[in-house]
Chain A
Amino acid sequence: MAEDYEPRIVAFLCKWCSSAGSDLAGVSRMEYPPNVVPIQVMCSGSVSPLYVFSAFNKGADGVLVSGCHPGDCHYIKGNYYARRRLNLVKKLLEYVGLEPQRFRMSWVSAAEGTKYTQVIKDFVKDLKPLGPQTKLRRNP
């Protein structure tokens, strides 16, 4: 594919852990590729499957959902529901043949600026060889 192909990633970050971890990566001046555009949600538990499907439908090449580690959810247990619900979403997407690397979930705490950076770097690296996502993308 084109040398200059850059995957477009939408990341749903929970406000209290992952978005704060992303902020920490910024404060620490870590560097990662600009392919990810973040959307801050209150809790990973509030990420509906509709968000994931819609992101792919609108042309995202990769979707990331990141929340607090189990046991640390600011809202006590939202991340447990996210874990269950998004596992089903992932299994379903893989079943219909979407490349498994395109949908990703991570636990990033407010202290893990380094981890966030690495998650993004890994994601971009894994997405590049797959090329643009065309299966769910609505044709303009």
Chain B
Amino acid sequence: MKRTGVFICHCGINIAGTVDVKKVAEELAKHPGVVHSEDYVYMCSDPGQNLIEQAIKEKKLDGVVVACCSPNLHETTFRNASKRAGLNSFRCEIANIREQCSWVHKDKLKATQKATKIARSIVEKVRQNDSLDALSVPVTRRALVVGGGIAGIQASLDLANSGFEVILVEKNPSIGGHMIQLSETFPTLDCSQCILTPKMVEVSKHPMIKLMTYSEVQDVSGYVGNFKVKILKKPTYVDPAKCTLCDECTKVCPIVVPNEFDLGLTGRRAIYIPSPQAIPASYTLDDKNCPDPFTTIACGKCADVCKPKAIDYDQKPQIIEEEVGAIIVATGFDLYDKEHMAEYGLGKYADVLDGLQFERLCSASGPTNGQILRPSDHKEPKEVVFIQCSGSRDPENHCAYCSKICCMYTAKHAMLYKHHVHDGQAYIFYIDIRSGGKGYEEFVQRAVEEDGVVYLRGKVSKVFEDKGKIIVWGVDTLTGKSIEIAADMVVLAQAMRPSVGAQELAKKLKLALDKDGFLAEAHPKLRPVESVTSGMFLAGAAQAPKDIPEAVAQASGAAAKAITILSQERLFHSPTVAKVFNNLCTGCGMCVAVCPYDALTLKDGKVEVNEVLCEGCGTCTATCLRSAIQVKNITQQQVAEMINACLGG
């Protein structure tokens, strides 16, 4: 026999001004299963809550309905009151008769009738509610950070300094990402390596950080607080404990391939170190370009000259399994590739470069030791054209979005160029200037006022080579004139894209991607560092184009979010999750296919629910033809009764 208590709130005149609350209480008292029905001026007040607690105790209520404002406001209040009186909090439900009734209707009779129907429907719901307790799962208090760029480094340090063990996985032989390739950073023109390498060293020395470079995440299973990760550790064939960075090996290696660190502007050997400041400080033997040591005898020259005997051709790839409680994905960006920008001559002409390539030219440790020289003939360029928005802001042909950092780094490039080549002229073709950060606007003005950079507002229509010059045809919309520049070098601010391999990784982690291929955040405004997958967080350019301060801020934010999980011994999860009725389930799998959280699996011809992954959306229940799966406390039976009550039945 059900014993439901109903409490109708006046909410001052908010409800009582339109709804005859006494009448509603009277009508509800007649409803089957209702043993207590009263109205009160402010249910959420202390005396109001006391009424509930008293009634629960005195009348031995097994369900409570409070007809008041939206459940968003006081559901927790009344559930707590119920709990205090000894009633399971999930047996207390709210009937919204304010926002969805008294506040939107004027006719008192009709509003009262509607309020009665709403309250009745919630009584019907509560009658079939189960007593539920929040689910609790133990937490593995370690974190995984995927990606060793500035965002991944920052997140790892924040987590490690908070006392949690971090596994930092990086696919390249060294951490540092793209930031380590930069020359100077805007708006301060700080030397990029100078500000980054201390953090990189801190990572390498931190007792709580397990650094796995030249490694890739292969598989992730499990759920928040309990992830199982498989990491592939590729062999470098060099023992970092023994390597002394003497560089003798590169002198004898016969293979030369394009150097990724210099974006193809120079070559490197099959055995190499990406940059002098690489962390870990060790060389790597690239077995894709070295004759495969396993099937052909490697030439053996590098091992011969290695005095510390650090080279070991017998190293094998390893699959390492780790357990973590939270994952931060910080896989960064790559620039829009040259295949997509043939119209501006990228990849076609040696003297058309992208922004990262130009950075390497500026860099003192770069291919030209910091001199700006044309790759074709190593002469100093006297006229350089910079083209902003190359591949960005172009929904018809390329990327629709703005890559955010290009205005700033192009201004920087133009300034650095002028600092290196005092008698050079820099032109920048732009659509708008986006310089919203601290000191950013002033920085751009500096480029114009102090370094004489010429800004031309217009797009470039054609880039082609003629007698050793790169001819650029564009337009200056402010004067209305067509422009032709016979440039010595052209630098394209290529669009920022999610890094190569990020899409495959997102599939393995079951992370959602947005329409441009970046990692999707849970909510664009209020949850920018969380993914839609519980326990997985996002940081840096992997989530959207951004500059270094934003990447660092987001990384710290992601670390803080991860700590909300790792700092607890157990996690609590809402218990209003799906439940399968095995006698009805035929194992057809239709529900498994629709679950947005992959919380359902087929086992031995029946469906099983992973209660920790299930968010209780109920899509499975509407898909099942047999009503064999229901969400606790919002079952189809309950809705059937609610429909009846809503129609006055």
Contacts and interface: CB of A to CB of B under 8 A. Distances in A.
Given A55-B647, A58-B647, A26 B100 contact: yes
Interface residues of B, number: 46
Contacts, number: 133
B512 A46 contact: no
B643 A75 contact: no
Interface stretch (B106-114, B247-255, B485-493, B537-545): B106-114
Nearest to B515: A71
Nearest to A47: B622
B103 A46 contact: no
B527 to A, nearest CB: 11
Q: Interface SS of chain A: helix, strand, loop or mixed? A: mixed
A49 B636 CA distance: 11
A37 B623 contact: no
B101 interface: yes
Contacts of B72: 20, 23
Contacts of A37: 114, 117-118, 121, 646-647
Interface stretch (B204-212, B476-484, B564-572, B613-621): B613-621
Given A39-B646, A81-B594, A29 B619 contact: no
Nearest to B70: A23
Nearest to A25: B104
Given A26-B99, A26-B104, A45 B644 contact: no
B618 A46 contact: yes
B624 to A, nearest CB: 8
B302 interface: no
A58 B440 CA distance: 65
A49 B101 CA distance: 26
Interface in B53-98: 70-72, 96, 98
Contacts of B532: 76
A10 B647 contact: yes
A44 B24 CA distance: 30
Contacts of B648: 8, 59
B105 interface: yes
B175 interface: no
B598 to A, nearest CB: 11
A102 B107 CA distance: 24
Contact of A31 (B99, B104, B118, B512): B104
Contacts of A33: 105
A112 to B, nearest CB: 14
Interface in A40-70: 40-43, 45-51, 54-55, 58-60
A30 B104 CA distance: 6
Contact of B110 (A26, A34, A46, A85): A34
B639 interface: yes
B511 to A, nearest CB: 11
Contacts of B594: 45, 81
B342 interface: no
A117 B100 CA distance: 11
Contact of B639 (A51, A60, A76): A51
A34 B111 contact: yes
Given A22-B99, A26-B104, A50-B636, A42 B622 contact: no
Contacts of B640: 50-51, 54
Given A46-B631, A48-B636, A75 B99 contact: no
Interface string B630-641: 010010100110
A47 to B, nearest CB: 6
B470 interface: no
Contacts of A43: 617-619
A131 interface: no
Contacts of B105: 31-34
A78 B100 contact: no
B596 A51 contact: no
Given A10-B643, A55-B643, A76-B512, A85 B622 contact: yes
Nearest to B576: A42
B72 to A, nearest CB: 7
Given A29-B104, A37-B118, A81 B643 contact: no
B517 to A, nearest CB: 15
A57 B369 CA distance: 81
B643 A39 contact: yes
Contacts of A29: 103-104
A27 interface: yes
A131 to B, nearest CB: 16
Nearest to B112: A34
A38 B649 CA distance: 15
Contacts of B471: none
A45 B104 contact: no
A3 to B, nearest CB: 15
Given A6-B110, A27-B103, 10 more contacts: A22-B100, A31-B105, A34-B101, A34-B104, A45-B617, A45-B619, A46-B631, A55-B647, A75-B596, A76-B597
Across the A-B interface, the 10 shortest Cβ-Cβ residue pairs: A46-B618, A26-B99, A45-B619, A75-B617, A37-B646, A76-B596, A26-B103, A48-B622, A23-B99, A43-B617
Interface of B: 70-72, 96, 98-101, 103-107, 110-111, 113-114, 117-118, 121, 512, 532, 594, 596-597, 615-619, 621-623, 627, 631, 634, 636, 639-640, 642-644, 646-649
26 contacts: A22-B100, A25-B99, A25-B104, A26-B70, A26-B98, A26-B100, A29-B103, A32-B104, A34-B114, A37-B117, A37-B118, A37-B647, A38-B100, A39-B639, A41-B618, A41-B634, A45-B617, A46-B621, A46-B634, A58-B644, A58-B649, A75-B615, A76-B596, A77-B619, A81-B594, A85-B622
